[in-house]
Structure 1
Amino acid sequence: MSRLLLVNGPNLGILGRREPGIYGTDTLADIEKAVAEEIAVRGWTLTSVQDDSEGALVRAVNQNPDTVGAIVNPGALMMAGWSLRDSLAAYPGPWIEVHISNIYARESFRHDSVLAPLARGVVVGLGTRGYRLAARALLELADA
């Protein structure tokens, strides 16, 4: 059975209570459920990892090269997650970077991602529905 990897970085484990005016009220469990529902149509399952430590996320990417693709919300690691970038550069499947908020409407230090140039695509500013959209895109990429 095919698996999709969902990687969430620092502070995303407290979604639902973390600045709901920016990030909404959906929890990480809500997001995981939504993505799992989206990919179930293909018979795929979800492997989800959230950690506040970059090393744990690197390990998760490196230990799951057999997944069909990945959705990655690196959180603040988008700006300086060089070891995460290196692991994603070696990841064999397509992956999509997701950000809940519109990073371009926020502080200028959030405008540049060290990961985005390697991603198959980036979804920004569509709230938690961005995860579903990324899952749909990966389903389509698997058919290509």
Structure 2
Amino acid sequence: MSELLLLNGPNLGILGRREPEIYGTATLADIEKSVAAEVAPRNWRVVPVQRESEGELIHAIQDHHDSVGAIVNPGALMIAGWSLRDALAAYPRPWMEVHLSNVWAREAFRHESVLAPLAAGVIVGLGALGYVLAARALLEVVPD
């Protein structure tokens, strides 16, 4: 069975109770289940990883170099996660960057991602649905 890496950065482990007016009420477990259901027909297994530190996220990318692709919500690491960027630059498969909120409708410091230029696509502002859409996109771009 092929693996799809679902990588979530700092503060995303508390989804559902973290500022629900911005991030919604879906928990990370809810999101993981939704993504797993989306990719199940392709026999992909979701490997969920959520860490608070950039170094641990980098290890996860390196440990899953042979996965079919990845969905990455770097959280605030999108702003200055340069070593995470380097790890994703070396990742040989397509990956999608996802953000629950519309980062361009928020504070100016959130308006640029150092990761986005490397991503196969970027989905913002659609809440938990963004993860499912990212999975759907990967199903289209990853060859059988």
TM tier, shorter chain? over 0.9
Which residue in 2 is equivalent to 1:113?
113
**TM-score normalised to structure 2 length:** 0.98
**TM-score normalised to structure 1 length:** 0.98
The code of the aligned residue for 2:94 comes to P
CA distance in 1, matches of 2:43, 2:7: 20
The code of the aligned residue for 1:32 comes to E
CA deviation profile, 1:52-79 (whole Å, cap 9, x unmatched): 1000000000111110000000000000
The code of the aligned residue for 2:121 comes to G
CA distance in 2, matches of 1:5, 1:141: 15
Is there any run of 5+ residues in structure 2 with no aligned partner, and where? none
RMSD: 0.8
The answer to whether structure 1 residue 87 and structure 2 residue 87 are counterparts is yes
Report the alpha carbon displacement of residue 46 of structure 1 after superposing the two structures with TM.
0.6
The code of the aligned residue for 1:58 comes to I
Report the alpha carbon displacement of residue 139 of structure 1 after superposing the two structures with TM.
0.3
The answer to whether structure 1 residue 10 and structure 2 residue 27 are counterparts is no
Report the alpha carbon displacement of residue 11 of structure 1 after superposing the two structures with TM.
0.2
CA distance in 2, matches of 1:142, 1:20: 33
What does residue range 1-144 of structure 1 map to in structure 2 within 5 Å? Answer: 1-143=1-143
CA distance in 1, matches of 2:22, 2:142: 32
Runs in 1 of length 4+ with deviation above 6 angstroms? none
Report the alpha carbon displacement of residue 143 of structure 1 after superposing the two structures with TM.
3.4
| Corresponding residue SS for 1:136 | helix
The code of the aligned residue for 2:77 comes to L
Report the alpha carbon displacement of residue 22 of structure 1 after superposing the two structures with TM.
0.2
CA deviation profile, 1:97-122 (whole Å, cap 9, x unmatched): 00000000000000000000000000
| Corresponding residue SS for 2:142 | helix
CA distance in 1, matches of 2:142, 2:24: 30
CA distance in 2, matches of 1:16, 1:76: 18
Report the alpha carbon displacement of residue 142 of structure 1 after superposing the two structures with TM.
1.4
The code of the aligned residue for 1:43 comes to N
